[in-house]
Chains A and B, each alone.
Chain A
């Protein structure tokens, strides 16, 4: 170390490493800016989706600035302070600087975290509006099925809910025949597509018959695990008609990657026609 040869080698290595770090940073930023990443996101179809996109952008700008400064900073010190026979500065640190960057990052990061809670509170903490369309979503290996409450707006009880004292040896997931609420329920069996009405609030009631699944629609920017033994609500209002891919996002077995279906967002008239088709079958 410290020989003439070592110094030449260190110049080459320092320059290469600095250039690589700069290239990496420029290229990463280029992908985000010139070929915008939000063109990779499909457009959001609900207000919360747009708010999540805005929060994503705020986070991207802040982390982007830190990313560029840190990688450029590393590239700079590596190049500037490569060994050229100099003696290093003797310093054990600087407490004022420690305090400044601790406070700065604390305010920035925690502030961002608190700001993000607005969209979360909107979806997760507020109860669904009373006029929300309620749809039960049920995951099972490796299909989705759905249930609509029918004109009475009430779901009938399943056998295991109506008679919790009985142990069932046969399928407990059958709507209890004695429950009047269940008479008009519309059941869309495993593998079905489901539909919602555009601009109408929707509350999904997500459950699972077997293992944990996860309901995910990219355009809604929402995901919710379907947990056996629980019913978890998820609310949204879709504002753009269309057909959107539903996938399973929680590993549920060998057919996990095939567990997809579609969510149709329809006008009120189209929905009525669709529902008629479904009940006619």
Chain B
């Protein structure tokens, strides 16, 4: 059991607007800053997907700012920026840096993160990264067109490879390198805080599963972003300093011989996916932790198999580092290596299945309350199953030869890494909003938002599997290049219409969010009758969370429906003698 003086040091609340809200050292303000950044980025990324769906359904349609319709190179720039913004600026920041920053210290009983200045720096570095990334839209040639995976040598040889591959691509690499720095700072902070600042009595096996998820995600970030940073620097050197890490000799484009030799395009893929696969778990693990937490809270029942859940998350994190080659079965990598990666990848289905069984086990025998956060957590489970099972096809070398780089892959990762993770974020917003803003969000608008989004995402991504099975390659601006693609046009139109409805539904969320900050019903200190430490402090919590005290912790995080006890929940901080008998 760890205790630390840091847990009780009360720091003075800063005076003045700038110290309080802009360059703040308070983990709660920084958490809100991250969530705002992610919210802004999510709407930009969603707007790009709207334009992409327009192009795919009606390729020649003229639009404002696109007098000739969206051109293929503009479509590909949108593909690249949509993926980059969503993966880095939304899925990596909101669940981990946003909610993690705000709630990890409170849930473990600490006054702040271990390194508040580092915390502030990591947010401002992330914002800088976002600004540099967005600048790529506005430079000559526009944003890069190589996809978020920026495979070399397309991304390494400059403007000659296509529009956006000049300055736009350079800005992309710089932005991502900056982002890696920010994530590394955040990861160190999360790890140190979890290990050192736990309150008296908060043993590891009493931690809420949200804290376990943030902690494990931080460890993954620390190991993965360092590799991407190195890869990004090498790519930048190839582009600007004449090195040839990723560029082999004798490349000829538009009759010009590229003055590089000796590099390996596959090296980039290895480095990128060594980061890229763990990144999938960086996006989804916090959602898994939160789903467990919320399912338990609203079924009024302890988490089924708490230790198994911790074990499953840890093994997902470990296995996540040794399966990156399944992105590269047809890359030209040795087929023997592909064989090994395939079997390892199939085994990652095991901890994922354990989690699903345990979620169902948590609900089984419960007293399920259908609040908006609970609906999103239930949606998360359904989407996680649907999106996860298609992974079993792609993990098999022989089947992947057909499905690789088709829409089947796009459908798979959107369901599991995109939409399921986004459902995790929505769960967090609806669940913690009362604590963060002291007011409730509208339940009616929340449920409307849930239904439109849940039905909408299935309507978009289920049909997408079928055009993938029919062999439709991804990242195609339209189907004009092959006769068999034309027969799939009606499916594209259907998916686009479903996407417009789903996107429109997000404005209900945005309105509910902004309206409730000022006009929502006042929230009690513990409106959900939850057990963890954040529900024992005022809404919103004061500057130093626990008013200079270290809250003693008496039990695990999920004591619901304990026999012989009057209430159907006992808070972690309630001393045994204060628990009312039935």
Contacts and interface: CB of A to CB of B under 8 A. Distances in A.
**A and B part of one assembly:** yes
B333 to A, nearest CB: 9
Interface size class of B (residues with CB under 8 A): 35 or more
Given A74-B378, A212-B153, A223-B402, A37 B308 contact: no
Nearest to A12: B370
A154 interface: no
A256 interface: yes
Interface string B262-276: 011110000000000
Contact of B257 (A31, A168, A251, A259): A168
B556 to A, nearest CB: 9
Contact of A52 (B345, B402, B447): B402
A150 interface: no
A116 interface: yes
A253 B397 contact: no
Interface in B432-453: 447, 451
- Among B343, B451, B458, B568, chain A packs the most CB atoms within 10 A around the CB of B343
Interface in A211-236: 211-212, 214, 216, 218, 221-225, 227-230, 232
A20 B252 CA distance: 55
B470 A93 contact: no
Interface string B540-567: 0000000000000000000011110000
A223 B328 CA distance: 12
Given A78-B378, A91-B304, A229-B264, A106 B347 contact: yes
Contacts of A250: 151, 405
A104 B425 CA distance: 31
A85 to B, nearest CB: 8
Nearest to B77: A254
B466 A251 contact: no
Contacts of A92: 302-306
Contacts of B369: 1-2, 6, 10, 83
A114 interface: yes
B161 A211 contact: yes
A78 B366 CA distance: 9
A202 to B, nearest CB: 16
A41 B381 contact: no
Contacts of B477: 254, 256-257
Interface stretch (B127-135, B356-364, B510-518): B356-364
A221 B402 contact: yes
Contacts of A252: 154
Given A89-B365, A210-B252, A254 B370 contact: no
A88 B396 contact: no
A189 interface: no
A176 to B, nearest CB: 13
Given A70-B385, A170-B257, A229 B395 contact: no
A279 interface: no
Interface stretch (B15-23, B176-184, B334-342, B494-502): B334-342
Contacts of B72: 254-257
Given A71-B385, A81-B365, A86-B367, A55 B568 contact: no
B399 interface: yes
Contacts of A82: 368, 370
Contacts of A59: 392-393, 396, 399
Interface stretch (B3-11, B61-69, B219-227, B480-488): B480-488
B574 interface: no
B359 to A, nearest CB: 8
B353 A101 contact: yes
A112 B253 contact: no
Interface in A1-60: 1-2, 6, 9-10, 13-14, 16-17, 20-21, 24, 28, 31, 37, 40-42, 51-52, 55-56, 59-60
Nearest to A173: B252
B398 A117 contact: yes
B154 A211 contact: yes
Given A56-B393, A88-B365, A223-B402, A109 B346 contact: yes
B343 A110 contact: yes
A249 interface: yes
B460 to A, nearest CB: 13
A169 B257 CA distance: 6
Interface stretch (B118-126, B232-240, B243-251, B415-423): B243-251
B330 A224 contact: yes
B332 A55 contact: no
B504 interface: no
A110 to B, nearest CB: 5
A67 interface: yes
Nearest to A82: B368
Contacts of B385: 66-67, 70-71, 74
A77 interface: yes
A13 B369 CA distance: 10
Contacts of A105: 349-350, 353-354
B367 A228 contact: no
B332 A232 contact: yes
Contacts of B265: 212, 227-229
A251 B330 contact: no
A81 to B, nearest CB: 5
A171 B370 contact: no
Contacts of A212: 151-154, 265
Contacts of A102: 350, 353-354
Contact of A110 (B339, B346, B393): B346
Contact of B360 (A77, A125, A218, A258): A77
Contacts of B366: 77, 81, 88-89
- Among A42, A67, A92, A252, chain B packs the most CB atoms within 10 A around the CB of A92
B379 to A, nearest CB: 9
Nearest to B343: A113
A254 B396 contact: no
Interface in A134-166: 140-141, 158, 160
Q: 10 tightest CB-CB pairs across the interface, nearest first?
A: A229-B248, A113-B346, A89-B365, A124-B335, A119-B398, A93-B305, A116-B396, A257-B476, A254-B73, A218-B471
Interface of B: 71-73, 76, 145-147, 151-154, 157, 161-163, 248-253, 255, 257, 263-266, 299-308, 330-332, 335-336, 338-339, 342-343, 345-347, 349-350, 353-354, 356-358, 360-361, 363-371, 375, 378, 381-382, 385-386, 389-390, 392-393, 395-399, 401-402, 404-406, 447, 451, 454-455, 458, 462, 466, 469-471, 473, 475-484, 529, 560-563, 568
15 contacts: A17-B370, A31-B466, A41-B470, A52-B399, A55-B399, A66-B353, A67-B386, A74-B363, A86-B367, A88-B367, A105-B349, A113-B396, A125-B336, A210-B161, A211-B157
